Amino acid sequence: MPKTPATANADNGAEFDISGLTGIEKTAILLLSLSEADAAQVLKNLEPKQVQKVGMAMAGMQNFAQEKVAAVHRVFLEEIQRFSSIGINSHDFVRKALTQALGEDKAGNLIDQIVMGSGATGLDSLKWMDARQVANIILNEHPQIQTIVLSYLEPDQAAQILSQFSERVRLDLTMRIANLEEVQPAALQELNDIMEKQFAGQAGAQAAKMGGLKAAADIMNYMDTGVESMLMEQIRDNDEELGQQIQDLMFVFENLSDVDDRGIQAILREVQQEVLMPALKGADDGLRNKLLGNMSKRQADMIRDDLEAMGPIRISDVETAQKEILAIARRLSDAGEIMLGGGGGDEFL
């Protein structure tokens, strides 16, 4: 559910304000108020990381005031009426979170329905694993198999997995990803063979398109800045043209200057204040003014005053905040809600 300021009338006639709740928190409240079967139907359509976030929120929920639940229901009904259909893209961690929220028996049944009911293949089962687990699974596999795994997974998870390897292996795998174009059925079958038997699936008969320059750029976008810079330098040393092609496709914080005002406003609606402040602290004047110019005058003036009063801040905190905003921008772009400019601009017509 989107993070939309809203109030709702409580049973006693007073309005209950839920504007302080995030979309994840509203979703958790909604799911906890559904039956187990209905909640399972929703959760099994979410991506693994979405289930993890919602599961954490469910586990942490303590205030179940009826007024709050009713307010969330009302906002949900208002939102659903705006659309003709709802599109939702698309184990240990999720099980623990839901067990705390629902109890062991209910959580166990729910997880079984989500995971087993979704018919996860060998590749898809990796999405539910911790990055360190996946790295250990593919550690001794052929580099080409490692490349297929990383190309198949979401860029942020692939970046976390790559970070588990040595610099030399990171460089080799990133360049392999950039040069990968398609994967033959035999290679997919070999990959599925390394999975646990209960998660293994049947590979398709057609060559699968994956990898490529964009995949390498997307993965590098999610890496820590220090690791990303070192890896890019190493790629350039090995293949300057390849490095430049990857760089051109990467969307960095400064590229937000190329996003139109409507897109900037959509991004800002998703950014928490504690993330925005350090990100702005490290931004150049042009980008900072663009971001502040897409806020109300009162809000922009308050933030300017807070920035002036803010003391020194670690570069790592700035980079972390900026990457979090970039993740939001990429998510909105993937959903078709905004258009990102920058190096990848000629993808749009």
What's the pLDDT at 265?
Answer: 92
Structure tokens at 237: 């040393």
CB neighbour list of residue 71: distance below 8 Å, 6 or more residues apart: 6, 7, 8, 10, 16, 17, 18
Whether residues 175 and 149 share a domain: the answer is yes
Q: How many helices (H) and strands (E) does the chain have?
A: 20, 4
Whether residues 206 and 222 share a domain: the answer is yes
What's the pLDDT at 87?
Answer: 40
Phi/psi region, residue 43 (left: phi>0; alpha: psi -120 to 50; beta: rest), is alpha
Residue 1 lies in a domain: no
| Domain final position from 249, 284, 300 | 249
Structure tokens at 141: 């596999």
Whole domain around residue 264: which residue ranges?
Answer: 253-343
Whether residues 34 and 147 share a domain: the answer is no
What's the pLDDT at 108?
Answer: 59
What's the pLDDT at 44?
Answer: 72
What's the pLDDT at 54?
Answer: 79
Distances (CA, A) of 46 to 27, 50, 115, 343: 12, 6, 11, 30
What's the pLDDT at 145?
Answer: 82
Domain count along the chain:
3
Residue owning tokens 């919602």: 54
What's the pLDDT at 165?
Answer: 92
Residue owning tokens 């801040």: 313
Whether residues 66 and 110 share a domain: the answer is yes
| Domain final position from 115, 150, 169 | 115
Whether residues 142 and 97 share a domain: the answer is no
Whether residues 139 and 197 share a domain: the answer is yes
Query: What pTM was estimated for this model as a whole?
Result: 0.47
Whether residues 268 and 216 share a domain: the answer is no
Nearest alpha carbon to residue 326 among 180, 217, 163: 217
Whether residues 224 and 152 share a domain: the answer is yes
Whether residues 338 and 320 share a domain: the answer is yes
What's the pLDDT at 92?
Answer: 59
What's the pLDDT at 90?
Answer: 35
Mean pLDDT in runs of 10 for the chain (349 residues)? 44 59 82 72 74 74 70 72 45 61 58 50 70 83 86 87 91 91 74 55 47 79 77 87 82 84 91 90 89 91 89 86 86 79 40
Whether residues 21 and 66 share a domain: the answer is yes
